[in-house]
Structure 1
Amino acid sequence: MLVAQVVNTPSGTQLRPIDTLRETVRLAAGLTDNKLLGNDAYQRGLSAIRRFGERIRGFDPSKVRAVATNTLRVAKNAQNFVNDAQDALGFPIEVIAGVEEARLIYIGAAHEVSAVQGNRLVVDIGGGSTELIIGKGYEPKLMESLYIGCVSHSMRFFPRGNIDAHAFKEAELAARREIQVIAGNYLKSGWKQVIGSSGTARALADIIAENNFNGQGDGLTMGRVNTGSGLITREGLRAMKKHLLKYEHVNDIQLGGLKDERRGVWPGGLAIMLAVFDELGIESMEVTDAALRVGVLYDLLGRSQHHDMRYVTVEQFMQRYTVDRDQATRVGNLAAEFLDQLPKPDSESRAENIALLQWAANLHEIGLSISHNGYHKHSAYIAGNADMPGFSKNDQARLAALLIGHAGKLGKLATNAGFHDWRMLFCLRLAQVLCRGRSDANLPKVKVSEDDGSYLVSLSREWADAHPLTEFSLQKEAAEWERIGRTYQVGLK
C-alpha cells in the first residue's frame, strides 16, 4: 500500500510518497488446480488487508483506490474474497482487467523514470501475469497482459523448489511462446528505452549488482566490476542462470541479494525475463520500483482533476461505433434529470452514478453497428468484454447490465441477485422511451418519484393525448416492470 501527498509545483502536480506498507502474501500460490483460492492464502490476504485498513481508516473514500489483479481475475471464488476484503479494508476494491493493469503500470513507471525522446517499453513481471507496454511520454500505446508470472511459472516448472536444466529450458520456451504472439507488433513499433518495473525486475537487478554478474562467467568467482543496482543486462541474466543451475533446490542456493521471500519464485521470474530479452532483442533494461500502485494514484489524481480516462474511453467508443451523438446526449441528459429527482441513499455517490448513467446513454446504441435486431444485446456484449481503459471489471459489468436492460424485457436482470442499479435503469429506460422520436422538440415535462422500489411517472394528460404512441409505450413499460414484481404507475394530470 502506498500513501502519497499531492504537491503542486510550478511544473505541475506531483505525488510525494509519505508511507508504504508491504506484505508478501502470494495469493497466486494459493490457487488450486480447479482455480479456487485456497483457505490459507485467503486468510493471509484478509489479514494483511485488515492491517492496511487500520492505516487508512477515516480517509475520504474519494481519496482511496484499491485494485485487485490477476489472481482475482481467474479465481472462481474471487467475489467472495473481494466481499470479505472490502469489509476488512473499509473501502471498495476493484478487480481490473489485464490491459487496464498494463495501462496503470505504464503510468506509474512513466512518472518515475527519466524522460526519453520516442517510445519506451515497460515490462512488469508479477505473480500471475506479465504486462508489456509501449508508450510515449505518459501515454501508453500498445498494452498486453500475458498469463505468465513468477509465482505461477515457478509452481508449474519448479514444483517443490526442485531445479534442473531441462525444467528451466521448458520454462523459458513456454514463456517465449506467449511472448511470440505479440513480439511482431512490439518490434514494429520500436522503443528507445526499456524499463523493468516492480518486484521481479528489482530483485533481478539487485542480484546482478550484488554479485557483479556482467556476462563473462559467474560473477561470484570472477569478481567483476559492479554494474550498479537498477540495471538488468542480458549478460547478467545468463550469468544468473548459469549459477542457478549449479543447484538442485532453491533452498540450497547461495547468492548475494537473494531474499528468502523471493527464493521460491526467483527461477520462474528469471525464466520469463530471459524469454522477454530473447524474444524482443533486449540487451539492457533500467529498473524502477514505481509501477501499479503509483499508476493507480496518478489515475485517481487525474479523476479528481477532471482528467478521467473513462471519459476518453467512452469518447473513443462513440467514434469507433459512429454513435448518434445528439441522441446519446438527449437520452443521457434526460436520464440524469430523472435520477436527480429520486431519493439519494447515504451510501450512493450520486456524481459517480450520474457519470455511469451518462456513459451508458452514450454507449447504448453501439450495438447498432452490428445489427438493429437485439442491438441492446450487442451493446452490452461489447461493453462487458472489450478492453476499456480506466474502467474496472465491476464498472464494465454495471455498464453492460444497464445496456442489456435499457430496452426489451427485464426478466434476466430480475433474476440477477448481483444487479442493484434499478433506479438508474428506470431512468435510462424512461429517457429512451421519451426520446424515441430522436428530437428535442415536444419532449414533455415529466416528474418521477420512487417509494420503496415502486415508481411513479407523472406527465400532462394533454401531452399524452397528443402523443398516443409514447403513451402506449409508457403503458407497456409499466406492464414490463409489473411483470417482475415492481409497481410502476403512469399518472396523467
Structure 2
Amino acid sequence: MTEGIRVGTKGRSWHDGRVIDRDPQTMPQSQAKNLSLIAAIDLGSNSFHMVVAKAQNGEIRILERLGEKVQLAAGIDDERKLNEESMQRGLDCLKRFAQLINGMPLGAVRIVGTNALREARNRGEFIRRAEEILGHPVEVISGREEARLIYLGVSHTLADTPGKRLVADIGGGSTEFIIGQRFEPLLRESLQMGCVSFTQRYFKDGKITPARYAQAYTAARLEIMSIEHALHRLTWDEAIGSSGTIRAIGLALKAGGHGTGEVNAEGLAWLKRKLFKLGDAEKIDFDGIKPDRRAIFPAGLAILEAIFDALELQRMDHCDGALREGVLYDLLGRHHHEDVRERTLSSLMERYHVDLEQAARVERKALHAFDQVAEDWDLDDGVWRELLGWAAKVHEVGLDIAHYHYHKHGAYLIEHSDLAGFSREDQQMLALLVRGHRRNIPKDKFAEFGDEGIKLIRLCVLLRFAILFHHIRGTQEMPQVKLHADGDSLEVMFPKGWLDENQLTQADFALEAEWLTRVGFTLNVR
C-alpha cells in the first residue's frame, strides 16, 4: 500500500575532494523534468533507513521502506574512529539497499550521513566503500542541516495547521530540536546526545539502576540547558516526536495502559519505575518493542524524560515523517527549482551587506567565461558551474568584517556558518574558492581535494578573471572578450587596442599573471 504526501525542497554532494554530480543536468532533460522514481538513504548513528518513492503530479508516493539497526555509533572508539566490525555491518546493510536503487540515475538518489559519520575521523574510508556499493554519492550533513531536513519530513507528513510546533528527534548519536510554523523552521538545534552514545556511556552492560539512569538523565539535562531559553522564548502549540525511540516509548506506554501511543509525563514516570524493577535491558518485553531496540531503550527514555522536564511538556505525539522523508522532499524540490541553497546565499549576502550589483556583474561574467572554456577544461558537469556561480555571489562577504584579508574572513564565515541546504563538503569547496579569489592561491589547500583540486583551481582562475574584469565596479563600459583554455593556461583576448587605452585593467591582468605563475598556471592577455 502506498502513502501519499506533499512535496518540499534539496540534493547534490561533495566528498573528500571528489565531486559527484547530482544536478538534473546529469540526467536526460526529459527525465529531470519528469523525475519519477526517487530514493533517500539515511545513514543514522543507530539505524540505516531507505525510502523509494514515485513522484507524480506534485506528490510523492512511498513505494518501499527499508530499515536496519546498524548501530554505527557503537563502533566509534576512543580515538573517534569507526572500527571494522561496525563499518562492515553498515556496508552489509547497504549491499541489500543497493538492489533497490540499481540503475537509478545520479540525481535521483540522495544519501546522507549524520552524527556518527560527523564524529568519525575515518569516515572517508567508510564513505568510499559505501559509494562503491551504492553507485551514488554520500554526503555528511551538519546537525542543523539534519534538523532542517527532519522538520521538512515532519511538516509534509502532518496536517498543515497554522500554529507553531516543537519537533524533537532522538537519534543514535545526536538529538535535534526544531520549532517551526507550517513548512518553515524558525529555530534549529542539534545536541550531542543519543540513545546509542548514551547506552555506551551509561548502560553498556545492559544493567539498569537508579544511579545509572540518573547519570544519563542529568547529562541530557545539562546538554539541553544550552538551548532551553531559546526554545521557551519562541513557544509552541504542539510537541511532535519523529524518531523510532519516541515511537517505541509511546508503544510501551500504550501496552501499559498509559495512552494510545502518545508520550505523556505520567506515563514516563510509570515506565521509569518499571525499568528499575526489571533491572536489565534484556528483560524488556513491552508489546511493540523489537528485541534489537531493548539495549538502547533505557538511554532513550532518560533523554526523553529530560526533554519533558526541561521543556515542561505534558504530551508529545509521534510522527512517521523524519529525516529520510525530508531528504526526499528536498531532493524533489531541487528538481522543481525550489532550491533552498539560493535562499541561504541571499540571506548571507544581506546579512553581510554584499554589493548586490557587483556580485551580479561578477557572476554573469564568471558564468559566461565558464561556458567558453568548460569543454576544454573538463568542467562539463553542471555542479561546477553551480559552484562558480555561488562563489561569485558571496566572494565579498568578508568585507563586512574588515578590508584587510577580507578574502580570508569571507572563507572563514562560509566554512563555519550554518548554511541551510549545504553539506560540510559544499561549504569547504565554496570557502576555498572565496579564500583564493584574490592575492595568493593556497595551492596546498586545493591539493587536499585530490584530482578534483585541479578543477577547483580552474574555477578559481575564472572567478579571479571575472572579478578583475569588473574591478572598476560598473563605472566603465566593458568590451566583449574571448577566452581559450588549454591545460594549465588561459588566454584572454580583448578587442584590438582596448588594453592600450585602459592601462589600469592592463596592469591588473599583468599582476594577475604573476600571481598565477605561483601555482604553475599561465595567463596570456592580449
Measured against the shorter chain, the TM-score band is over 0.9
Give yes or no for contact 1:122–1:134 (8 Å, CA) kept in 2: yes
Match of 2:520 among 479, 485, 488: 485
Is the Cα–Cα contact under 8 Å of residues 116 and 193 in structure 1 kept in the other structure?
A: no
Give the drift of 1:461.
4.3
**Whole-Å Cα distance in 1 between the matches of residues 445 and 464 of structure 2?**
15
**C-alpha offsets along residues 290-341 of structure 1, whole Å, 9 cap, x if unaligned?**
1001101111111111111001101111111111001000001100011111
Mapping 1:328-367, distance limit 5 Å: 328-344=359-375, 350-367=381-398
Match runs of 1:216-365 below 5 Å:
227-229=259-261, 231-344=262-375, 350-365=381-396
Q: By how many angstroms is 1:288 displaced?
A: 1.3
Structure-2 residue corresponding to 1:200: 245
Partner deviation per Cα, 1:142-173 (whole Å, 9 max, x = no partner): 11000000100111111222221101011101
Q: Does 1:166 align with 2:233?
A: no
8 Å CA contact 2:446, 2:456 repeated in 1: no
Does the CA-based 8 Å contact 2:376-2:485 persist in structure 1? no
Aligned partners of 2:349 and 2:394 also within 8 Å: yes
Cα 1:349/1:129, change in 2 over 3 Å: farther
Distance 2:490 2:115 in 1: 41
Q: Does 1:2 align with 2:54?
A: no
Structure-2 residue corresponding to 1:221: none
| C-alpha contact 2:516 2:523 (8 A) present in aligned 1 | no
- The SS at the match of 1:112 is coil
Aligned to 1:434: 469
Report the counterpart of residue 103 of structure 1 in structure 2: 148
Distance verdict in 2 for CA 1:436–1:345, change over 3 Å: closer
- From 78, 90, 95, give the equivalent of 2:123: 78
Change (3 A) 1:233 1:362: same
* Contact 1:310–1:390, Cα closer than 8 Å, also in 2: yes
User: Which residues of 2 match residues 9-158 of structure 1 at below 5 A?
Assistant: 13-158=58-203
Quickly say closer, same or farther: Cα 1:264–1:346, change in 2 above 3 A: farther
What is the CA distance between 1:413 and its match in structure 2?
A: 4.3
> Which SS does the other structure have where 1:264 is aligned?
coil
Give 5+ residue unaligned stretches, structure 2: 1-49
Cα offset, 1:409, TM superposition? 0.5
In the superposition, the TM-score normalised over structure 2's length comes to: 0.87
1:374, distance to aligned residue in structure 2 (A)? 0.3
RMSD: 1.7
Query: 1:26-62 deviations in whole A, cap 9, x for unaligned?
Result: 1111110111111111111122223322211211212
Show CA shifts across 1:272-304 (max 9, x none): 000000000111111012100110111111111
- Is 2:374 aligned against 1:374? no
Moved more, 404-413 or 300-309: 404-413
> What's 1:405 paired with?
436
In structure 2, the CA distance between the partners of 1:287 and 1:155, relative to structure 1 (3 Å rule), is: same
CA distance in 1: counterparts of 2:393 and 2:268, whole angstroms: 49
User: What stretches of structure 1 of length at least 5 have no aligned partner?
Assistant: 215-226
Matched-pair contact (CA < 8 Å) for 2:446–2:457? no
Q: Letter of the aligned partner of 1:151 in structure 2?
A: V
Following TM superposition, by how much is the alpha carbon of 1:407 offset from its aligned partner in structure 2, in angstroms? 0.9
Code of the residue aligned with 1:108 in structure 2: it is G
Q: Deviations over 1:187-224 (max 9, x none)?
A: 12111111100211111112112232x2xxxxxxxxxx
Aligned residues: 473
Partner deviation per Cα, 1:239-297 (whole Å, 9 max, x = no partner): 11111111332123333322111111111111100000000011111101210011011
| Structure 2 residue identity aligned to 1:185 | A
State how far apart, in whole Å, the 2-side matches of 1:392 and 1:34 are. Answer: 24
Partner AA of 1:436 in structure 2:
H
Aligned 8 A contact 2:143 2:190 in 1: yes
> 1:141 & 1:414 partners in 2: Cα distance?
35
How has the CA–CA distance of structure 1 residues 316 and 349 changed in structure 2, closer, same or farther, with 3 Å as cutoff?
farther
Q: Is the CA contact 1:344–1:350 (under 8 Å) kept in the aligned structure 2?
A: no
The farther-off stretch of 189-198 and 126-135 is 189-198
Q: Residue by residue, what CA displacement relative to the aligned partner does 1:336-363 show, whole Å, maximum 9, x if unpaired?
A: 0111111348986643322221211111
* Distance in 1 between residues matched to 2:440 and 2:377, nearest whole Å: 30
Matched-pair contact (CA < 8 Å) for 1:117–1:192:
no
Q: Name 1:222's counterpart in structure 2.
A: none
Q: Letter of the aligned partner of 1:474 in structure 2? A: F
1:330/1:440 contact within 8 Å kept: no
Q: State the one-letter code of the partner of 2:103.
A: G
Change (3 A) 1:350 1:336: farther
Q: Normalising to structure 1: TM-score of the pair?
A: 0.92
1:448 to 1:351, Cα distance in 2 relative to 1, 3 A: same
Matched, 1:390 2:421: yes
1:451 Cα deviation (Å)? 2.2
CA distance in 2: counterparts of 1:375 and 1:203, whole angstroms: 51
Listed one character per residue, the Cα deviations across residues 374-432 of structure 1 (whole Å, up to 9, x for unaligned) are: 00001100000001011111111111011101111013446632134122111101111
Matches of 2:134 and 2:378 in 1, distance apart?
Answer: 16
User: What one-letter code is carried by the residue in structure 2 that aligns with 1:411?
Assistant: P
CA distance, structure 2, for counterparts of residue 427 and residue 103 of structure 1: 33
SS at match of 1:23: strand
Structure 1 residue 210 and structure 2 residue 255: aligned?
A: yes
Partner of 1:217: none
CA 1:200–1:327: 2 relative to 1, 3 Å: same
Which amino acid is the alignment partner of residue 509 of structure 2? Answer: L
Percent identical? 41
1:191 aligned partner, one-letter code: W
Higher relative contact order (CA 8 A, sep 6+): 2
Q: 1:306 to 1:139 in 2, by over 3 A?
A: same
Identify the match of residue 482 of structure 2 among 447, 454, 458: 447
Kept in 2: contact 1:405–1:413 (CA 8 A): no
